[in-house]
Amino acid sequence: MQEQYLEIRVSGRYLVDVPKGDGPWPLLAGFHGYGQTAEDELALLNRIPGAEGWVRCAIEALHPFINAKGEPGFSWMTRRDRERRIAENVAYVDAVLDRIGREYPVGTLVLHGFSQGAGMACRAAVLGCHRVSGVMLLGGDVPPDLEWLDPMRKVHLARGDRDRLYTQERFEADRQKLSNAGVDGGTFIYRGGHLPTADYFAAAGGFLSALG
């Protein structure tokens, strides 16, 4: 048996919400969690105070499946062919940000990742070609394969105190990893589970306003 690969053209989907006026505007790009859609991430971005003054872009993962609710969902990664998928995902995100930069007058770039999307936000910041001003990580960890974290600039790392998916142990390990790399920004723990609460959005809005 021979295992071979063939590159083909695949379409990716993203949603954009643009403020009123002529710009220029800062750009907030988000990555949804496992089994979610771009609509889920855009709704999350829109709840961050002050985000209405940013171009908001929710990028949908390339790998569709039917989630536990019996509805279409998408995934960023699987265990198989991880290095290949990482490279494809980063190239995809770069292409989306390239197009947005051509179509809208945007400047400052901040990335937001929820759950599985947190890893994608980190990889896009570190491995992608677009310079970011900050990264917001909610309920998801910094990928262990990333060693050079300087391109993330500033990081807002957050979790719910009852989150069973992104545990306190993993949160503390990521906080130490970022600190060791000299990446500042701050951490936040809110009362709740895996999903964000009003307290999270308030803290996220404060981080965002300092970068916009």
What pLDDT is recorded for position 30? Answer: 98
What pLDDT is recorded for position 10? Answer: 86
Contacts for 193 with CB less than 8 Å, ≥ 6 apart: 160, 162, 163, 164
Summarised one tens digit per residue, pLDDT across range 60-109 is 999 999 988 888 999 998 778 888 899 999 999 999 999 999 999 999 99
The answer to whether residues 30 and 196 touch, using CB atoms and an 8 Å cutoff, is: no
Tokens of 153: 């600039």
The answer to whether residues 45 and 58 touch, using CB atoms and an 8 Å cutoff, is: yes
What pLDDT is recorded for position 202? Answer: 97
Q: Parse the chain into domains and list their residue ranges.
A: 14-211
Q: Is the dihedral of CA 17, 200, 67, 168 positive or negative?
A: positive
Q: Which of 127-131, 143-147, 162-166 bottoms out in mean pLDDT, i.e. has the lowest?
A: 143-147
Domain 14-211 -> CATH class: alpha beta
Q: Is 151 exposed, middle or buried (0-12, 13-18, 19+ CB in 10 A)?
A: middle
> Among 32, 53, 45, which Cα is nearest to 211's?
53
Share of the chain above pLDDT 70, in %: 100
Residue type, 143: P
Residue type, 3: E
**Radius of gyration, alpha carbons of the chain:** 17
- For the segment 175-196, the average pLDDT, to the nearest whole number, is 94
